[in-house]
Amino acid sequence: MRLHLGSLVLLPGLALAEQSPYEIDELVITGSRYQASGWQLPFSVNRIDAEQASLGKPGVNLSEALGSVPGLVVQNRQNYAQDLQVSSRGFGARSAFGIRGIKLLADGVPLSNPDGQGQAATFDLDTLERIEVLRGPFASVYGSNSGGVIQLFSRDGEGAPKVSVDTSQAAYGTSRTRIAAEGGNDKAGFIINRSHFETDGYRDHSAAILEKTFAKLTLYPDDLSKLSLSFSELDQNDTEDPQGLTWQQAQSDRRAAAPSALEFNTRKTVDHRQLALNYERSFTAGTWQSTLYSGTRRVIQYQSIPVAVQGNPSHSGGVIDFERRFHGIGNRWIQPFDLGSSLLTLTAGLDYDFSRDDRQGYENFVGSTLGVKGNLRRDERNEVTSLSPYIQTAWQLGKLDLQAGLRHSQVEFEVDDRFLGNGDDSGSVTYRELTPTLGASYALLPELNIYASWGKGLETPTLNELSYSGPDNSFGFDLKPATSEQIEVGLKARLAETTSLQLALFQIDTDDELVVESASGGRSRFQNAAQTRRRGVELAVESQLSETLRANLAYTYIDAIYSKDFTSNGRLIEDGNHLPGIPARTLFGELTWQPREGFSTAIEGLYRSKLYVEDSNTAKAAPSYALFNWQARFEQSLGALTFNQVLRIDNLLDREYIGSVIVGDGNGRFYEPGPERAWYVGAGMQYQFD
């Protein structure tokens, strides 16, 4: 018998499956920490398996896999220097780069820094087993900066050894190659995957080359334990940054780069290495799980800050150069108690995460030559430490399921300024908060569950937000964290044996929301000035319409407003203004047809309403748009060989649209146009040994 995560506390879900003629949701662990049926849990959680996430798709961006999840807005910026934009019920919508306010995890290892700033590019979708997405109050059980949770899980190597190779070509000079090997038995399994991606980019000055490596070794010392060791690597050298455009520039030439991007040759280099170990063992009493990780990340980024602006003695320059060392450990004990007619499961754990940046800033000019590394303007060490003990309980009493959690989050920032020419920014600040959660679900019928949940959350400032938010652009040690209170009610239903429905209504009230106080000289100052309210509805429907036809539908409505007046950048932001970067309505639909084995085709549709781009709501909003994509996949087998081919066309109707926005950009360059009609073709081969 091979051990699987949380197998010791799986019995209630299995019992429900035996009693009900309706097929329950697939098992998830996100939110509950133990393996359970998403059907029973009192919160919104979705599971996307590898086939749904990757078949017929390029396999480059996480945005390809998450369209069917309501509440999420995932925007491919067509800018690999800045990563994706991801928001969950509005959390993370303001991020100018990377992903913030959402907890990203891969095989239990955070892809987010302890300050809440993260990136999705390091995960290898080629090795994906599943994705689990959690929204709502119970996201806070993952600590600070967890407005939502996206967990990615790589598969274990299993079965007879096999090797595979894939190649693809696409519009705008885009190509990708991949080579992989995997296999395993009852004692061990392995996966090795290497990919090379390059593109000229849809827009000018947006070329990128990404090299990824992933390797995983899984060992089963005995029937009760499992050990996984994984290594991941990302090399991303001189990725060009086209920056945002003003509305006039976007209308004049949507494929253009910002003039300043060309003038300063804006670009970014990332070298990321990470090693992780996961261990799990079942005992008679319970289950022990432990995750240990460590890595390095080197970033060099050339910005387009004008030379004159850097004449200010307190300015830190136009080149960011840092080397980050990070590590962490997560331990938890899962203890079930059989109480006869009910089951009580207790989970207690401790998460520790640490990162240290050796950070320098340089002028982005030498004499009259722009876009090169000049004089040193910043030299400091930044440390962020997060320590979070937590406890969760789950009590299953027949048709009733009760959940509760309590987490103490402590996040400490420490700055050691070693360059005093622009003032001494040394100092420290610590944020502490207790975040409780409560939830209950009840099975009104075998095919209908209702639920309600409540929780509080904490969102600390990131290092980037703290860096220039004090007096005279010094470190903003006086910034407070944003705190939120969330309520969610919903239902999970089976309309037929082949159709499932999830409906959720939610409200999120936030105090001390972090907003831009001023933006000038390429730097933004942040303040705690706002109270916000987000109310919304999410609907997800999955249906197997026939033996050959399957449909997915995801709809989100969210009314996200400021609930109190405040002043930003010298302007009054009135109560009732809409939060920027959050579409009021999104709709995703997918229809997949598989008439026979070895062939499938699908059409996707996406609608997104307009996006406000700054707090006053007076600048031109990015207009609403609707897109359609089509793909077909073919597969043939010849003995030990398997061949596959993919044909895909995105933006079938060749619509012009703004794919993403840069919220609150101080230069008015809010808009990042999406690509026109684009084609993609791919082919692959796999050989399986006897």
Instruction: Evaluate whether residue 266 is within a structural domain.
Output: yes
Q: Has residue 20 got a pLDDT over 80?
A: no
Judge whether 84 and 95 are in contact, CB under 8 Å. Answer: no
Q: Which residue has the tokens 């703290």?
A: 466
Q: How far is CA 91 from CA 212, 325, 405, 579, in A?
A: 29, 27, 21, 11
Other CB atoms closer than 10 Å to residue 476's CB: what's the count?
23
Q: For residues 170 and 413, what is the distance between their CA atoms, to the nearest angstrom?
A: 44
Give the chain's mean pLDDT.
Answer: 90
Q: What is the pLDDT of residues 21-74, one digit of tens each?
A: 334 457 888 888 888 888 889 999 999 998 888 888 888 888 888 888 999 998
Q: What is the pLDDT of residues 533-568, one digit of tens each?
A: 999 999 999 999 999 999 999 999 999 999 999 888
Kind and range of the H or E element at 92? none
Number of structural domains, the chain?
Answer: 1
Q: What is the pLDDT of residue 7?
A: 39
Q: What is the pLDDT of residues 426-473, one digit of tens each?
A: 889 999 999 999 999 999 999 999 999 999 999 999 888 888 777 766
Instruction: Evaluate whether residue 234 is within a structural domain.
Output: yes
Residue 500: both structure tokens together = 């499932």
Instruction: Evaluate whether residue 527 is within a structural domain.
Output: yes
Torsion, Cα 649 125 55 153, to 10 degrees, reads -150
Single-letter residue type at 401? D
Instruction: Evaluate whether residue 55 is within a structural domain.
Output: yes
Listed residue (23, 18, 53, 51) closest to 38, CA to CA: 23
Q: What is the pLDDT of residue 32?
A: 86
Q: Has residue 180 got a pLDDT over 50?
A: yes
Instruction: Evaluate whether residue 362 is within a structural domain.
Output: yes
HEC per residue, 478-492 = CCCCEEEEEEEEEEE
Instruction: Evaluate whether residue 653 is within a structural domain.
Output: yes
- CATH number for position 199: 2.40.170.20
Residue 24: both structure tokens together = 């329950």
Q: For residues 645 and 251, what is the distance between their CA atoms, to the nearest angstrom?
A: 37
Instruction: Evaluate whether residue 99 is within a structural domain.
Output: yes
Strands 117-118 and 523-544, bridge-based pairing: unpaired
- Provide the H-helix boundaries in 242-360: 247-252, 259-264
Instruction: Evaluate whether residue 2 is within a structural domain.
Output: no
Give the lowest-confidence range in 65-69, 345-349, 410-414.
Answer: 65-69
3 state DSSP class of 316: coil
DSSP string, 569-636: TTEEE-TTPBPTT--SEEEEEEEEEEEETTEEEEEEEEEE--B--STTS-SPPBPPEEEEEEEEEEEE
3 state DSSP class of 459: strand
| Partner residues linked to 587 by β-bridges | 555, 607
Give the predicted TM-score (pTM) of the model.
Answer: 0.93
Which range marks the domain in which residue 667 is found?
7-688
Confidence of residue 233 (pLDDT cuts 50, 70, 90): very high
